[in-house]
Structure 1
Amino acid sequence: MKNSIAERVVDFLNGYPPFYMLSNKTLLEIATEVTIIYLEKGDTLFKKDDTCHNNFYIVRDGAINLYYTHDGVKNIMNIHDTGDVFGLRPLITKEPYKLTATANEESIVYAIPIAVFQSVTDYNTQIQKYLITAFASNAYDPYSAEIAGKIFVDYLPNKSQDMVNFQTANYTKSPIICTMESSLKEAAKKMSTHKIGCIVVVDNEKKPVGIITNSDIKNKIATGLFPIETPVTDIMSSPVITEKKGLTIADGQMQMIKHSIGHLCITKDGTVNSKLIGVLTHHDVLVTLGNSPTVILKEIKRAKRTKKLRAARLKGNSLLKSYIEQNIPISHIINVISQINDAVTVRVIELALKKMPTVPPVAFSWLALGSQGRKEQLLFTDQDHALVFEDVPKEHYEETQNYFLQLAKLVTKSLNKIGFEYCKADMMASNPEWCKSLTAWKTQFKNWILKPDEKAVLLSSIFFDYNCVYGNKQLVNDLTDTIFATLEETNLFYKFLGRDAIKSPSPLGFFKQFLVEQNGDQKELFNIKSRALMPLIDAARLLILSKQIKGVNNTSERFEKLAELEPQNKELHESCSYAFKALSKFKTKQGLLHGNSGKFIDLETLTKEEKLKLRRCFKPIQKIQETLKIRFDLKNFI
Structure 2
Amino acid sequence: TAMRQWQLAIAETMLDDEIPAEAILATITGINNEVHRRVLADAITALENDGWGTPPLPFSFLVLGSSGRMENFLDTDQDNALIIGEPEPNSREATQTYFIAFAERIADGLAASGFPHCKGNMMGTSPVWRKTADEWRRQIRTWVRRKEPVLLMNCDALLDMSHVAGHEHLAKDLHRDLLDMVRREPGFLRALYGIEEDHGVGLDWLGRLAREKDDFGSVAELNLKLKGLLPLIEGARLLAVSTGLTETSTVARFRKLCKVGVIHEDTMADLIFAFRMIAARLLRHQIAMRQLPGSSPIRVAHASMSRAQQAALRAALRDIARFRSQLPSLLESAAMRAVEVRAQD
TM range (shorter): 0.7 to 0.9
**1:515 aligned residue (210, 213, 224):** 210
Q: In the TM superposition, what is the alpha-carbon distance from 1:421 to its structure 2 partner?
A: 1.6
Q: Paired residue for 1:302?
A: none
Q: Distance in 2 between matches of 1:567 and 1:485?
A: 19
Report the TM-score when normalising by structure 2.
0.87
Q: In the TM superposition, what is the alpha-carbon distance from 1:605 to its structure 2 partner?
A: 3.1
Is 1:359 the counterpart of 2:50? The answer is no
CA spacing shift, 1:592–1:544, aligned 2, 3 Å: same
Q: Distance in 1 between matches of 2:23 and 2:149?
A: 36
Q: Secondary structure at the match of 1:526?
A: strand
Contact 1:334-1:377 within 8 A present in 2 as well: yes
Q: Distance in 1 between matches of 2:208 and 2:90?
A: 60
Greater radius of gyration (CA): 1
* 1:106-121 alignment, distance < 5 Å: none
Q: In the TM superposition, what is the alpha-carbon distance from 1:441 to its structure 2 partner?
A: 0.9
CA spacing shift, 1:519–1:364, aligned 2, 3 Å: same
**1:625 aligned residue (317, 324, 334):** 324
Question: What is the identity, as a one-letter code, of the residue corresponding to 1:537?
Answer: I
Q: Deviations over 1:21-57 (max 9, x none)?
A: xxxxxxxxxxxxxxxxxxxxxxxxxxxxxxxxxxxxx
Q: Which runs of 5+ in 2 are unaligned?
A: 334-345
Hey, which of these two has a bigger chunk of strand by percent? 1
Contact 2:222-2:302 within 8 A present in 1 as well: yes
Q: Secondary structure at the match of 2:212?
A: coil
Q: Secondary structure at the match of 2:61?
A: strand
Q: Distance in 2 between matches of 1:335 and 1:527?
A: 22
Is 1:494 the counterpart of 2:185? The answer is no
Q: Distance in 2 between matches of 1:388 and 1:555?
A: 24
Q: Paired residue for 1:27?
A: none
Q: In the TM superposition, what is the alpha-carbon distance from 1:485 to its structure 2 partner?
A: 2.6
Q: Which has the higher contact order (CA 8 A, sep 6+)?
A: 2
Contact 1:352-1:411 within 8 A present in 2 as well: yes
Q: Deviations over 1:287-331 (max 9, x none)?
A: xxxxxxxxxxxxxxxxxxxxxxx5345322221122223322323
Contact 1:338-1:375 within 8 A present in 2 as well: yes
Q: Secondary structure at the match of 1:544?
A: helix
Is 1:369 the counterpart of 2:64? The answer is yes
Q: Paired residue for 1:239?
A: none
Percent identity over the alignment is: 25
Q: Any runs of at least 4 consecutive aligned residues in structure 1 with deviations exceeding 4 A, and if so which?
A: 520-523
* 1:395-434 alignment, distance < 5 Å: 395-434=90-129
Q: Deviations over 1:213-263 (max 9, x none)?
A: xxxxxxxxxxxxxxxxxxxxxxxxxxxxxxxxxxxxxxxxxxxxxxxxxxx
RMSD: 2.2
Q: Paired residue for 1:603?
A: 302
Question: What is the identity, as a one-letter code, of the residue corresponding to 2:68?
Answer: G
CA spacing shift, 1:427–1:564, aligned 2, 3 Å: same
**2:229 aligned residue (491, 510, 533):** 533
Q: Distance in 1 between matches of 2:184 and 2:288?
A: 47
Q: Distance in 2 between matches of 1:364 and 1:390?
A: 6
Is 1:319 the counterpart of 2:6? The answer is no
Contact 1:370-1:384 within 8 A present in 2 as well: yes
CA spacing shift, 1:577–1:354, aligned 2, 3 Å: same
Q: Paired residue for 2:23?
A: 332
Q: Secondary structure at the match of 1:469?
A: strand
Q: Paired residue for 2:244?
A: 548
Q: Distance in 1 between matches of 2:4 and 2:227?
A: 29
Question: What is the identity, as a one-letter code, of the residue corresponding to 1:586?
Answer: R
* 1:204-603 alignment, distance < 5 Å: 311-312=2-3, 314-356=5-47, 357-520=52-215, 523-524=218-219, 525-550=221-246, 552-566=247-261, 569-595=264-290, 598-603=297-302
Report the TM-score when normalising by structure 1.
0.48
Q: Deviations over 1:104-129 (max 9, x none)?
A: xxxxxxxxxxxxxxxxxxxxxxxxxx
Q: In the TM superposition, what is the alpha-carbon distance from 1:393 to its structure 2 partner?
A: 3.7
Q: Deviations over 1:44-73 (max 9, x none)?
A: xxxxxxxxxxxxxxxxxxxxxxxxxxxxxx
Q: Distance in 2 between matches of 1:533 and 1:481?
A: 26
Q: Distance in 2 between matches of 1:445 and 1:370?
A: 17
Q: Distance in 2 between matches of 1:531 and 1:407?
A: 37
Q: Secondary structure at the match of 2:209?
A: coil
Q: Secondary structure at the match of 1:580?
A: helix
Contact 1:501-1:625 within 8 A present in 2 as well: no
Q: In the TM superposition, what is the alpha-carbon distance from 1:412 to its structure 2 partner?
A: 1.6
Q: Distance in 1 between matches of 2:3 and 2:199?
A: 37
Q: Secondary structure at the match of 1:491?
A: coil
CA spacing shift, 1:429–1:506, aligned 2, 3 Å: same
Question: What is the identity, as a one-letter code, of the residue corresponding to 1:603?
Answer: H
Q: Distance in 1 between matches of 2:125 and 2:257?
A: 35
Q: Secondary structure at the match of 1:337?
A: helix
Contact 1:522-1:600 within 8 A present in 2 as well: no
Q: What is the aligned length?
A: 324
Question: What is the identity, as a one-letter code, of the residue corresponding to 1:543?
Answer: L
Q: Distance in 1 between matches of 2:272 and 2:196?
A: 16
Q: Paired residue for 1:208?
A: none
CA spacing shift, 1:522–1:417, aligned 2, 3 Å: farther
Q: Secondary structure at the match of 1:366?
A: strand
Q: Distance in 2 between matches of 1:418 and 1:579?
A: 32
Contact 2:59-2:85 within 8 A present in 1 as well: yes
Contact 1:589-1:598 within 8 A present in 2 as well: no
Question: What is the identity, as a one-letter code, of the residue corresponding to 2:323?
Answer: I
Q: In the TM superposition, what is the alpha-carbon distance from 1:597 to its structure 2 partner?
A: 6.3
Q: Distance in 1 between matches of 2:91 and 2:217?
A: 48
CA spacing shift, 1:597–1:459, aligned 2, 3 Å: farther
Contact 2:212-2:218 within 8 A present in 1 as well: yes
Hey, which of these two has a bigger chunk of helix by percent? 2
Contact 1:541-1:558 within 8 A present in 2 as well: yes
Q: Distance in 2 between matches of 1:597 and 1:392?
A: 45
Contact 1:563-1:571 within 8 A present in 2 as well: no
Q: In the TM superposition, what is the alpha-carbon distance from 1:481 to its structure 2 partner?
A: 2.5
Q: In the TM superposition, what is the alpha-carbon distance from 1:456 to its structure 2 partner?
A: 1.5
Contact 2:69-2:160 within 8 A present in 1 as well: yes
Q: In the TM superposition, what is the alpha-carbon distance from 1:633 to its structure 2 partner?
A: 5.1
CA spacing shift, 1:520–1:349, aligned 2, 3 Å: farther
Q: Deviations over 1:256-287 (max 9, x none)?
A: xxxxxxxxxxxxxxxxxxxxxxxxxxxxxxxx
**1:615 aligned residue (291, 304, 314):** 314
Q: Deviations over 1:454-495 (max 9, x none)?
A: 111222221210000001111112212221332342231110
Q: Deviations over 1:124-148 (max 9, x none)?
A: xxxxxxxxxxxxxxxxxxxxxxxxx
